[in-house]
């Protein structure tokens, strides 16, 4: 059997060695990190105590409260955050056919930040108490989508990848400028919460938010998986995709909406998290040695979950009990990836 047929017969598990091995390993590692994230913390418990607390959730005990109200939501949020941001990055890289885009690079995270700052720092939303739990999520989505529309409008005029990158950076600066003005004008009490949010952390997730993320995010990921066929066609560019039968207009809207929704959902609670959306798709391509989105979509979810879980563990434990900002840790491994990609011209989309 030729190698071409091997790589193509993605649905025969006997032939499909590489992806199966990779999925198993990644899944195993992610599970290990999940356990570590639950087991390790600034307050140390014995494994038996944690085990006990997991299976007998009594919020009245210290162990139970810490495990169920702090550690498990945070560990789950890290997994969801990594999966969503990475998927969002993959969608954007396929859409722009450019290897150095991601929700953070294109200014989409900053767009979300501006809208969240409006909600958190001003009194615009006073009185809208019914919506308040989801206010930041909705605001983040609107902000992300607004910036995305601007970037898409510019990208349709210029095809150059570097220009697109600069446009994204400029959008980031503009959004940052608006945010700083709002911060300067805001009341002191509100500023602290916002600044902490802006540093990026998976610590603030409540169970209700995680429920919404699992439900909505799960639906969106399912939808994205069903988009993998047109996504594959899109690798040849819009014109070829259209000639093969992709309904470009509908597909374009779907891809951008889902990418913004996934990135916005995470940004609204965890704050802007840098580089995950950019670097993880490349790591997944290297691991799976394919551009086939039917493999890459679940692939980036796993790799993303793994990376953010690891980063979160480092952020919490490196200088424990002081917690480092998550974006700082992700930047430490993400920035070299970007520089490497720029230097290595051979990496193309």
Partner 1 sequence: MYFFSASPFHPITLSSVDKALVNNKTRCTMNEKTAPSILTCRNLTVGYKDKAVLSGLNLDFAAGQFISLLGPNGAGKTTLLRTLSRHLDPLAGHIAIAGRPLDQMSAMELAAVMAVVLTDKISPPLFTVYEFVALGRYPHTDFLGRLGAADHQAVRHALAAVHADDLAARTFSDLSDGERQKALVARALAQQPRLLLLDEPTLHLDLKHRVEVMGILRNLCRSEGITVLASLHDVDVAAKVSDRVALVKSGVLVDWGMPEIVLENSAVAGLYDFDGADFDHHLGSIELRGTGNRGRAFVLAGMGSGALIYRMLSKRGFRMATGVLHTNDLDYFVARSLGAECICQAAMQAIDDRALAEARRWLAVCDVVIDCGFAVGPMNQGNINLLNTVLAKGKPVLSLRPNGRELALPADGQIIRCADMAQLLAALDQRVPAMGGGGSAPYPEMREAV
Residues of this chain that bind partner 1 (CB under 8 A): 2-5, 7-11, 226, 228-229, 232-233, 235-237, 239-240, 242-248, 285, 289-292, 294, 347-349
Query: C-beta of 288: minimal distance to partner 1 in Å?
Result: 9
Query: C-beta of 155: minimal distance to partner 1 in Å?
Result: 16
By C-beta, is 17 or 56 nearer to partner 1? 17
| Dihedral sign of CA atoms 97, 98, 103, 106 in order | negative
Dmax over CA atoms of the chain, in Å, equals 69
Q: How many helices (H) and strands (E) does the chain have?
A: 17, 0
What's the rounded Cα separation, in Å, for the pair 290 and 258?
22
By C-beta, is 177 or 248 nearer to partner 1? 248
By C-beta, is 110 or 282 nearer to partner 1? 282
Q: Return the axis-axis angle of helices 276-288 and 293-317, rounded to nearest 10°.
A: 120
Closest CA to 109 of 152, 72, 141, 73: 141
By C-beta, is 134 or 225 nearer to partner 1? 225
User: Pseudo-torsion of CA 48, 51, 55, 61, nearest 10°?
Assistant: 70
By C-beta, is 62 or 243 nearer to partner 1? 243
Query: C-beta of 204: minimal distance to partner 1 in Å?
Result: 37
Query: C-beta of 55: minimal distance to partner 1 in Å?
Result: 39
Residue 325: DSSP 8-state: P
By C-beta, is 163 or 247 nearer to partner 1? 247
- Give yes or no for a cis peptide into 16 (omega within 30° of 0): no
By C-beta, is 15 or 54 nearer to partner 1? 15
Query: C-beta of 132: minimal distance to partner 1 in Å?
Result: 39
What's the rounded Cα separation, in Å, for the pair 265 and 209?
10
User: Contact, 325 vs 200, CB < 8 A?
Assistant: yes
By C-beta, is 173 or 226 nearer to partner 1? 226
* Cα first-last separation, the chain: 29
Query: C-beta of 240: minimal distance to partner 1 in Å?
Result: 7
Query: C-beta of 247: minimal distance to partner 1 in Å?
Result: 5
Query: C-beta of 11: minimal distance to partner 1 in Å?
Result: 6
By C-beta, is 164 or 213 nearer to partner 1? 164
Instruction: Give the contacts of 182 (CB within 8 A, at least 6 positions apart).
Output: 114, 117, 118, 121, 122
Q: How far is CA 330 from the centre of its chain?
A: 11
Q: Return the axis-axis angle of helices 161-185 and 108-121, rounded to nearest 10°.
A: 10
Closest CA to 73 of 246, 265, 202: 202
Query: C-beta of 236: minimal distance to partner 1 in Å?
Result: 5
Question: Residue 157's CB: how many other CB atoms inside 10 A?
Answer: 8
By C-beta, is 89 or 271 nearer to partner 1? 89
Cβ burial of 12 (10 Å; 0-12, 13-18, 19+) is: exposed
Query: C-beta of 95: minimal distance to partner 1 in Å?
Result: 14
User: Contact, 349 vs 99, CB < 8 A?
Assistant: yes
């Amino acid at each position: 059997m030729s190698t071409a047929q091997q790589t193509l017969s993605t649905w025969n598990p006997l032939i499909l060695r590489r992806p199966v091995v990779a999925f198993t390993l990644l899944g195993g590692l992610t599970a290990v990190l999940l356990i570590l994230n639950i087991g390790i913390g600034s307050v140390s418990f014995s494994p038996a105590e944690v085990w006990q607390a997991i299976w007998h959730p009594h919020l009245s005990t210290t162990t139970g409260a810490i495990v169920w109200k702090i550690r498990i939501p945070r560990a789950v949020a890290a997994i969801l955050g990594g999966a969503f941001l990475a998927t969002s990055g993959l969608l954007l890289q396929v859409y722009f056919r450019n290897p150095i885009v991601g929700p953070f690079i294109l200014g989409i995270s900053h767009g979300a930040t501006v809208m969240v700052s409006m909600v958190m720092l001003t009194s615009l939303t006073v009185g809208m108490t019914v919506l308040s739990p989801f206010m930041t999520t909705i605001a983040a989505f609107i902000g992300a989508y607004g910036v995305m529309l601007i970037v898409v409008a510019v990208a349709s005029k210029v095809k150059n990848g570097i220009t697109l990158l600069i446009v994204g950076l400029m959008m980031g600066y503009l959004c940052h400028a608006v945010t700083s003005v709002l911060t300067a004008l805001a009341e002191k009490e509100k500023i602290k919460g916002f600044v902490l949010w802006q540093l990026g952390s998976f610590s603030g997730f409540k169970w209700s938010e995680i429920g919404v993320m699992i439900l909505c995010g799960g639906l969106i990921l399912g939808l994205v998986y069903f988009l993998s066929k047109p996504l594959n066609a899109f690798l040849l560019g819009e014109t070829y995709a259209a000639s093969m039968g992709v309904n470009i207009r509908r597909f374009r809207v779907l891809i951008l909406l889902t990418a913004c929704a996934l990135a916005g959902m995470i940004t609204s609670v965890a704050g802007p998290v840098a580089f995950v959306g950019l670097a993880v798709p490349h790591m997944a391509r290297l691991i799976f040695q394919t551009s086939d989105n039917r493999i890459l979509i679940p692939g980036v979810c796993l790799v993303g979950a793994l990376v953010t879980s690891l980063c979160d563990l480092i952020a919490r434990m490196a200088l424990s009990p002081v917690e480092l900002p998550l974006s700082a840790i992700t930047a430490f491994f993400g920035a070299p990836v970007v520089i490497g990609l720029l230097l290595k011209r051979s990496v193309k989309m």
